[in-house]
Amino acid sequence: MTRIVLAVCLSALPTLIRADDWPQWMGPQRDGVWRETGILDKFPEGGPKVLWRQPIGPGYTGPAIVGGRIYVMDRLTDAPALKDGFARNAMPGKERVLCLDAANGQEVWKHEYDCPYLKISYPTGPRTTPLIHEGKVYTLGTMGHLYCLDANTGKPVWSKSLKDEYKNPPPIWGHAASLLIDGDRLITLAGGNGSAVVALDKNTGKEIWRALTSEEVCYCPPTIIEAGGKRQLIIWLSDTLNSLEPETGKEYWMVPYPEDGSPQRPAVNISQPLLVNDILYVTSFYHGPLAVKLAKDKPAAEVAYRGKKVADPSKAATLHTLMSTPGVLDGHFFGTGAAGEIQCIEAATGKRVWSEKKPFGGKEALFGTAFFIRHADRFFLFTDQGDLILTKLSPKGYEELGRANLLKPSQNARGREVVWSHPAFADKRMVCRNDKEIICVDLSKVGSQ
């Protein structure tokens, strides 16, 4: 064991993942929980201190932070802006993977490649969060360019095009499901017949297995849970919620979503599945929630409760979330509804406990989005208006402890200017970006005094 640990330290010292790093989508454990200590209890006057700002190209990609370096993606193009935000013809441009010094935001290296956008809605830039693992950076671009790069130099180790290999065009909103590593497997949504999800060798890119077929693979990240005495890979596609054996891709169980298996199309299944006790929960804008109760003695599931399609999701009695993954605390979900309201949902029953519009100024906000990161018994909410809100959320209600506007919304979406990029939290700091700049904010208790 000592020799193994020493070998890892010597071969990947600059990118060795520490407890306070943020190496992938939703953090170290992919659960949206920030576990560092020494974090501020309240915002100083004028808001948290911005330590640095640096220019960046457009994109939705959230940053990852490992070993004092930030990894993020953007896009460069000279193509004129589209009137309706849909790339019917090929839009020339390049996607970039950037490595920045976390101390000052200065570029360490970049890797760029030609990437015309074709038949993509909201063709601003790449969507997925880079994944840093054992000295390598794994990235997935909008059109399905999949790269494994050396984390120290940015040089390619291997690459492939999901669009070309699996003979399937990207989803209408581009590839947006962040990558997952499980053992030696890199797991991604791909598309095509029998290859909605594929597992690749993380060191070579060679396919290990492929599984499932769906008209749309959608945008939900692959998720690993443990239930029924087994590790289960949860894949949420446009018409089904699926559980697979991670090692082989063999199906454990499948539940139609929605109930008749005929979703509103194009489908917008985006937020990550959540497990609370024996309840596995997903929710989307059009069809609302699906909660399945997982068996204790084997990998199996039965429906606990469902939402239903309604003409106006903002008036639904259940949680209809567009894209952000709800937060979890004490057996409850806290998520954004169709009109931007924060809702508290009892996980066991799906019952709405309360609804609150304060995060968006007490007004309805169509597609209003807030990213939830739990820290101890509090939450940091980063809204699509660039506001960072420190709050306590409980079945008793919404308690706002502080608010600061850190970034200006830079992109139009259905008549609203928004920031649609998930922040990262590491080294007692937050890193977030819009389409013009990336910033680092001090959230340490010392820095707030």
79 pLDDT tier (thresholds 50, 70, 90): confident
222 pLDDT tier (thresholds 50, 70, 90): very high
H helical segments located in 12-139: none
Q: What is the pLDDT of residues 93-102, one digit of tens each?
A: 999 999 999 9
Please say if the pLDDT value at position 154 is more than 60: yes
**pLDDT at position 237, please?**
97
Q: What is the pLDDT of residues 275-315, one digit of tens each?
A: 999 999 999 999 999 999 999 999 999 999 999 888 888 88
**pLDDT at position 8, please?**
36
258 cis-preceded (ω within 30 degrees of 0): yes
Nearest by Cα to 207 from 222, 234, 233, 188: 188
Please say if the pLDDT value at position 13 is more than 90: no
Burial class (CB in 10 A: 0-12, 13-18, 19+), 42: exposed
Question: pTM for the complete prediction?
Answer: 0.94
Q: How far apart are CA 147 and CA 213, in angstroms?
A: 24
20 pLDDT tier (thresholds 50, 70, 90): confident
Q: Quick one: what percent of the chain has pLDDT higher than 90?
A: 83
Six-digit token pair at 32? 């949206």
**pLDDT at position 17, please?**
62
The residues pairing with 108 across neighbouring beta strands, listed in sequence order, are none
* Residue 78 · residue 58 · CB < 8 Å: no
324 pLDDT tier (thresholds 50, 70, 90): very high
Q: How far apart are CA 147 and CA 144, in angstroms?
A: 10
Q: How far apart are CA 409 and CA 346, in angstroms?
A: 32
Place of tokens 């999949």: 146
| DSSP per-residue string spanning 174-196 | ------EEETTEEEEE--STT-S
**pLDDT at position 320, please?**
94
Q: Is 212 left (phi over 0), alpha (psi -120 to 50) or beta?
A: left
Q: What would the mean pLDDT of 117-136 be, rounded to a whole number?
A: 96
